Amino acid sequence: MTMFLRLRRRATSPRPEFRFLSGLTRLALATVAAAALSACAKPATVPAMVPDVAGLATAASPYRGAISVGTVSGGRGGSSLWTARVGNAEFQEALSRALTDSGLAAAQGGRYRLDADLQKLEEPFAGFAMTVEATIAYKLTDSTSGAMVYQNTITTPATATMDDSLDGLARLRIANERAIRANLRRLVEELSALPRR
């Protein structure tokens, strides 16, 4: 009887290899859970969103030194799971710097007010090469008369690849920054080419 109980106990006890696999499974699940909890993309950085626009607004441009940034909207502050964020504050700062670097920005209280609405950042969920499309609506008005001087919605794509970063969330942030940088450059080019009203 004692021998039978010993044999039965051995038969019902998990084998060492199964105990090992069970430990590996628990470790893998814990690792995945920790990665998911920490997988918040860093928000876009202002310097990476500012285009190289030095000298685009020549002295002949009627809007040189005359534009102030008005209302900026549409940005999503902070960071979220598996998505890259661009906050209103960062976007507004990038827009202000682009106007300053190009020579369009007014020192104080410009005659023209530029409003911007970040309508959409179309982001892929995953991929080796991540392409983001930034759609931003701009409106330039004469602060004195209220007349609309310029209105346009600009959509610009940009891509980040494995050469930029092995981290998927970092690639998404880089693609966001590049898409907005391209958008701001296009805006400055169009504003610099506006004729005098």
Query: What would the pLDDT profile of 74-112 be if each residue is shown by its tens digit?
Result: 887 544 444 557 888 999 999 999 999 999 999 888 899
Reported as a single tens digit per residue, the pLDDT across 5-39 is 454 555 455 554 445 445 555 544 434 333 443 34
Is CATH 3.40.50.10610 what the domain over 40-192 is classified as, yes or no? Answer: yes
| Degrees to nearest 5, angle at CA 83 with 81 and 86 | 120
pTM: 0.75
By CB neighbour count within 10 A (0-12 exposed, 13-18 middle, 19+ buried), where does 108 fall?
Answer: exposed
45 DSSP assignment:
P
Structural domain boundaries in the chain: 2-36, 40-192
Residues 116 and 148: beta-carbon distance below 8 Å: no
